[in-house]
């Protein structure tokens, strides 16, 4: 089922050349990085921020006005998606909110839809195009409720990645494509640096390259199917 609400709210007025500031808030690294990568690939001029905790988002909120907030209905620890959307609506005029959900419970979905603080919902199993369409809709002031099934070749990352990479390996590959160091990857994913090195060795082996230098050279020449990796997975 897929639908866009007929009611329209009044978003903050934006000129076409206005840079949108978006925040991706999720406690799960794979989900957070996947969503950020979709935004950065689809809208390269946007300012995209991420937060993995309530405290981190609070610090960002004190320094930045966000036009778009993407989060999950069910966040870990003490962070709740509806509360976060409520905070965003109170803090910034015209802010659009979009949540991910894998919850099929009608009462939960209804609560989000009727909360008046959520502008759209996208299933975690939805395809990238549905996410992109929903984002465009909520930024235009429309509601977007997307519950469609993924299509082959365009699914978010529960599907096998290039060379049958595991979910963690695909996450590391996304960060590798962004030229993050081993230490930066380890800090982001809360892994030991040696674990990252071991994963990278496995990735290089599956992709048929001998290291970073050859990987970047092959990627630049598009010999490796890595460009769609950053837009693949949003779910964990």
- pLDDT tens for 140-154 read 988 887 765 444 444
- What does each C-alpha distance from 188 to 30, 37, 219 come to in angstroms? 10, 14, 23
User: What pLDDT is stored for residue 195 in this prediction?
Assistant: 94
For the entire predicted model, the pTM comes to 0.63
* Percent share of the chain, pLDDT over 70: 73
* Region of poorest pLDDT, from 32-41, 65-74, 148-157, 184-193: 148-157
User: In the chain, what percentage of residues exceed pLDDT 90?
Assistant: 27
CATH 1.10.10.10 residue spans of the chain: 162-231
**pLDDT tens by residue, 90-110:** 999 999 999 987 766 666 777
Beta carbons within 8 Å of 57's beta carbon, 6+ residues apart: 23, 25, 51, 79, 84
Of 126, 63, 61, 71, which Cα lies nearest the Cα of 96? 71
Which whole-number Å values give the CA distances from 235 to 60, 127, 182, 228, 230, in the listed order? 23, 11, 23, 16, 13
Range from 16-25, 70-79, 129-138, 219-228 carrying the lowest mean pLDDT = 219-228
In the prediction, which pLDDT does 105 show?
67
pLDDT digits (tens, 9 = 90+) for 160-194: 345 577 878 877 887 787 778 999 889 888 889 99
The predicted model gives 3-29 an average pLDDT of 65
- Work out the pLDDT band at 31, boundaries 50, 70, 90: confident
8-state DSSP, 158: T
Give the lowest-confidence range in 50-64, 128-142, 175-189.
Answer: 175-189
Mean pLDDT of 113-135: 85
CATH assignment, 2-146: 3.40.50.2300
Answer whether CATH 1.10.10.10 is correct for domain 162-231. yes
Q: What is the pLDDT at residue 44?
A: 92
pLDDT the model gives residue 114: 77
Mean per-residue pLDDT of the chain: 76
Q: Which residue, among 35, 27, 22, 26, has the nearest Cα to 171 in the 3D structure?
A: 35
């Amino acid at each position: 089922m897929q639908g866009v609400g007929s009611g329209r709210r009044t978003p903050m007025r934006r000129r076409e050349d206005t840079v949108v500031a978006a925040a991706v808030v999720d406690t799960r690294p794979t989900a957070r990085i996947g969503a950020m990568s979709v935004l950065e690939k689809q809208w390269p001029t946007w300012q995209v921020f991420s937060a993995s905790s309530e405290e981190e988002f609070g610090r960002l909120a004190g320094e930045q006005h966000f036009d778009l907030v993407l989060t999950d209905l069910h966040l870990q620890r003490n962070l709740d998606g509806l509360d976060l959307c409520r905070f965003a609506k109170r803090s910034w005029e015209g802010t659009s909110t979009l949540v991910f959900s894998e919850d099929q419970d009608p009462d939960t979905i209804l609560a989000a839809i009727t909360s008046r603080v959520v502008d759209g919902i996208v299933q975690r199993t939805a395809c990238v195009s549905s996410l992109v369409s929903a984002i465009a809709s909520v930024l235009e002031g429309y509601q977007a409720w997307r519950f469609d099934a993924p299509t082959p070749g365009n699914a978010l990352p529960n599907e096998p990645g290039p060379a049958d990479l595991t979910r963690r390996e695909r996450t590391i590959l996304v960060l590798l494509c962004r030229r993050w160091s081993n230490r930066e990857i380890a800090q982001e994913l809360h892994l030991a640096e040696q674990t990252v090195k071991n994963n990278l060795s496995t990735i290089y082996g599956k992709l048929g390259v001998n290291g970073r230098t050859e990987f970047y050279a092959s990627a630049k020449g598009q010999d490796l199917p890595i460009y769609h990796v950053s837009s693949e997975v949003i779910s964990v």
